[in-house]
């Protein structure tokens, strides 16, 4: 109707001028008073969006649920689903709801650009709770279900991380290989390369670990996990009997790390090497 058109125009102007409160209530009224209007989907989306802007989380959750129920093929389904998951995750809600939304989304929308973020939410929650077997099983299921899903790189990465955590080192190496060969520019590639080297180290394939870890330091000279790469290289060279190079790498790791485990591990290994070489003065200085 003409009245609705005028109200929509006014609501849009409120949104453009950041008058969120007025925009919210105007779109809310349009949504509730016109359930069969051709623009109801947009009214619902605009109500949801403005509710988020106003930090009206409970209202946004209610409207978001309604939108997903009424418009499963809607133009804003992806945006609302992702925002709803984020809102539920940030609140005190039971994780079961947003985890189910994420799983259903990944089951049914393999080419949706939001699916990569959905996977990160889903896998991150599983990781935090130590549910590594769940991650491996479900990642395999999605790999079998979909052909070249847009989030396939994440499936290889999260499966590999979970296999590494459960000491399935050969499987982890294969997962990271798949990630690095098929998706060399993935956001997961940098950490995947480091984790591949760690898996090779734990599998006692020290030559391959050395090659992988040195390739990490060359490819990512300012990498987020450079301290870990140098630490593992220190361990590799220590086992190979190249103690001077091992000391160099342990010191490199210690100089740049912010992780207490890396600092403690490097300090301990350096002390053992000094003791082995009978360089007691340096050992004493090291532990001061």
∠ CA 158-223-252 to the nearest 5 degrees?
120
d(CA 38, CA 270): 71
In a domain, 49, yes or no: yes
Residue 74 lies in a domain: yes
Cα dihedral sign for 12, 13, 16, 18? negative
> Mean pLDDT, the chain, as a whole number?
93
**Is position 197 within any domain?**
no
What's the pTM?
0.90
- pLDDT of 20 reads 78
Residue 73 lies in a domain: yes
Rounded Cα gap, residues 23 and 286, in angstroms: 64
Q: Which residue has the higher pLDDT, 90 or 119?
A: 119
Is 56 a domain residue?
Answer: yes
The pLDDT score that the predictor gives to residue 19 is 77
Residue 37: which CATH number?
1.25.40.10
Residue 12 lies in a domain: yes
- How many residues can be counted in the chain? 288
**Which pLDDT tens digit goes with each residue over 79-102?**
999 999 999 999 877 899 999 999
Buried b (16+ CB within 10 A) or exposed e, 213-250: beebbeebeebebbbbbbbbbbbbbbeeeebeebbebb
DSSP state of 223: -
Evaluate if residue 1 carries a pLDDT over 70: no
Total domain count, the chain: 1
Structure tokens, 224: 């987020």
Written as six digits, the tokens of 248 are: 């160099």
Residue 2 has pLDDT above 60, yes or no: no
Residue 173 placed within a domain: no
Range of the domain at 44: 1-93
Q: What is the pLDDT of residues 162-192, one digit of tens each?
A: 999 999 999 999 999 999 999 999 999 999 9
What was the pLDDT predicted at 3? 66
Q: Decide if 143 is inside a domain.
A: no
pLDDT at 287 over 90: no
Query: Where are the strands (E) in the chain, listed by range?
Result: none
């Amino acid at each position: 109707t003409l009245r609705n058109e005028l109200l929509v125009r006014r609501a849009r102007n409120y949104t453009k001028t950041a008058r969120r409160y007025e925009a919210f209530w105007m779109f809310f009224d349009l949504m509730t008073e016109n359930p069969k209007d051709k623009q109801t989907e947009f009214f619902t989306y605009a109500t949801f969006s403005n509710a988020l802007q106003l930090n009206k989380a409970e209202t946004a959750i209610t409207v978001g649920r309604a939108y997903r129920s009424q418009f499963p093929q809607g133009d804003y389904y992806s945006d609302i689903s992702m925002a709803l998951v984020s809102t539920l995750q940030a609140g005190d809600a039971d994780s079961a709801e947003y985890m189910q939304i994420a799983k259903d989304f990944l089951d049914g929308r393999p080419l949706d650009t939001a699916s990569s973020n959905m996977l990160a939410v889903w896998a991150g929650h599983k990781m935090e709770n130590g549910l590594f077997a769940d991650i491996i099983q479900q990642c395999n299921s999605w790999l079998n279900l979909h052909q070249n899903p847009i989030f396939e790189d994440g499936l290889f990465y999260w499966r590999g991380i979970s296999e590494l955590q459960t000491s399935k080192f050969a499987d982890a190496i294969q997962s990271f290989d798949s990630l690095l060969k098929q998706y060399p520019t993935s956001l997961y590639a940098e950490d995947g390369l480091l984790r591949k080297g760690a898996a090779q180290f734990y599998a006692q394939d020290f030559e391959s670990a050395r090659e992988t870890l040195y390739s990490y330091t060359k490819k990512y000279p300012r990498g987020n996990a450079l301290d870990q790469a140098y630490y593992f290289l220190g361990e590799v060279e220590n086992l190979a009997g190249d103690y001077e190079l091992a000391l160099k790498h342990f010191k490199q790791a210690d100089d740049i790390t912010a992780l207490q485990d890396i600092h403690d591990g490097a300090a301990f290994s350096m002390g053992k090497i000094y003791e082995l070489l009978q360089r007691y003065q340096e050992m004493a200085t090291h532990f001061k």
